[in-house]
């Protein structure tokens, strides 16, 4: 099979298409003939040499795919050869074939394009596990989501609105802020020209946001706390600002706030399987009804993985970037 491998840590040009042995599914695994793979920030970090695949996973990037099942390992129930599926992976998605634990696989509804489905597993699992499970966002509460025009941001906006919450999104331009509103955000802030704390204060009449989904870290954490309502929850899922975060513990105590830092890829298999089961129960009905949809920026051929990475690094994208494999 063909796979996009990292010849050495570096910029996007180190990505190369190479031949690798076809994988064979082990016990409780399925093999998927890949139609498309989704890009994620973790892929860029892996390419740069900062985020290697976990033990047992292929050494090349790719945390989510869509395609059809073409082989079953021993002990697999509930799946058949030919099923249209998408899956959350520990790595190796930039390839024509992948094997994955059957518990990390989701069916693709007939109403969803199979290529676009590659943009669903990672964002759905990330948003559900962080905003709704850990962050406990409830109907009529307010979510502040940073990077609202990203894949994770667009999913967070849609899911929060579908479940009765209000959403304030931040973005890096007026055009992206408008895009967030088109996706469903009640309010959107260009963080380059506006103060998001002031915007949250104005939108909530001084109450603050109940949940903040943070993808920046560093100095943003203190500002998130300022924007937070009493009893609010900050969930930090990525670090772009490498400066250490400084938190006013007095303010945190007065607001009875909580701050959580999480990752998805490093969790034990049982936890990831439980998250996918929760996504299937809570998110997939909304997907089948059309109330939530994959938001796709662009689709690149597998051979153009370097161009796809450059597109993501430019921050010009809105929604998910995909690699077309099959």
Encode pLDDT of 234-278 as tens digits. Answer: 999 988 777 888 889 999 999 999 999 999 998 999 999 999 999
Question: What pLDDT does 64 receive?
Answer: 98
Pairing of strands 105-107, 97-101: unpaired
**pTM for the full predicted model:** 0.95
Residue 189 to residue 169: CA distance in whole angstroms: 6
Which band of pLDDT confidence, cut at 50, 70 and 90, is reported for residue 216? confident
Give the confidence band of 1 by pLDDT, cuts at 50, 70, 90: very high
Residue 244: the pLDDT is: 82
Q: What is the per-residue pLDDT for 219?
A: 87
Tokens, residue 274: 């439980």
Instruction: Determine whether 139 is exposed, middle or buried from the number of CB atoms within 10 Å of its CB (0-12, 13-18, 19+).
Output: exposed
Strands (E), 25-152: 29-38, 64-72, 84-88, 97-101, 105-107, 142-145
Question: Within 13 Å and on the Cβ side, how many CA atoms surround 33?
Answer: 9
Q: Mind listing the pLDDT tens digit for each residue in 68-83?
A: 999 999 999 999 999 9
- Portion of the chain with pLDDT greater than 90, in percent: 94
299: left (phi over 0), alpha (psi -120 to 50) or beta: beta
Between 10-24, 172-186, 231-245, 285-299, the lowest mean confidence (pLDDT) is in 231-245
The answer to whether the CB of 237 falls within 8 A of the CB of 216 is: no
Q: Check residue 188 and give its pLDDT.
A: 98
The predicted pLDDT at position 57 comes to 94
The more confident residue out of 241 and 325 is: 325
- What's the chain's Rg over C-alpha atoms? 19
Find out whether 32 and 100 touch, Cβ atoms under 8 Å.
Answer: yes
Least confident of 79-93, 121-135, 200-214, 245-259: 245-259
Report the distance separating Cα 277 and Cα 105, nearest Å. Answer: 9
Q: pLDDT tens for residues 40-61? A: 999 999 999 999 999 999 999 9
d(C-alpha 305, C-alpha 71), whole Å = 26
What rounded mean pLDDT belongs to the chain?
Answer: 96
Task: Tell me the C-alpha distance between 159 and 287, whole Å.
Answer: 10
């Amino acid at each position: 099979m063909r796979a996009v491998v990292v010849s050495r840590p570096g910029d996007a040009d180190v990505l190369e298409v190479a031949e690798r042995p076809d994988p064979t599914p082990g016990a409780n695994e399925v093999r998927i003939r890949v139609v498309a793979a989704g890009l994620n920030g973790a892929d860029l970090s892996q390419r740069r040499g900062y985020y290697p695949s976990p033990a047992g996973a292929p050494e090349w990037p790719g945390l989510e795919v869509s395609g059809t099942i073409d082989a079953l390992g021993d002990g697999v129930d509930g799946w058949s050869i030919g099923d249209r599926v998408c899956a959350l992976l520990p790595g190796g998605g930039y390839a024509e074939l992948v094997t994955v634990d059957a518990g990390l696989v989701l069916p693709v509804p007939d109403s969803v394009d199979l290529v676009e489905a590659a943009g669903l597993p990672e964002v759905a699992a990330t948003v559900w596990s962080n905003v709704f499970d850990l962050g406990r966002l409830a109907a009529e509460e307010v979510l502040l989501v940073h990077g609202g025009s990203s894949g994770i941001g667009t999913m967070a906006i849609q899911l929060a609105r579908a479940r009765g919450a209000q959403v304030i999104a931040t973005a890096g331009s007026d055009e992206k802020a408008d895009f967030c509103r088109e996706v469903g955000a009640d309010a959107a802030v260009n963080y380059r020209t506006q103060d998001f704390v002031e915007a949250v204060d104005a939108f909530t009449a001084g109450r603050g946001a109940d949940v903040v989904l943070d993808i920046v870290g560093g100095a943003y954490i203190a500002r998130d706390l300022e924007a937070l309502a009493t009893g609010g929850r900050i969930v930090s899922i990525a670090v772009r600002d490498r400066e250490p975060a400084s938190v006013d513990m007095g303010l945190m105590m007065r607001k009875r706030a909580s701050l959580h830092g999480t990752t998805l890829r490093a969790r034990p298999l049982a936890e990831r399987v439980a998250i996918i089961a929760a996504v299937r129960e809570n998110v997939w009905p909304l997907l089948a009804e059309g109330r939530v949809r994959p938001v796709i920026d662009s689709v690149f051929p597998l051979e153009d993985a370097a161009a796809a990475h450059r597109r993501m690094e430019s921050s010009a994208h809105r929604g998910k970037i995909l690699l077309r494999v099959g």
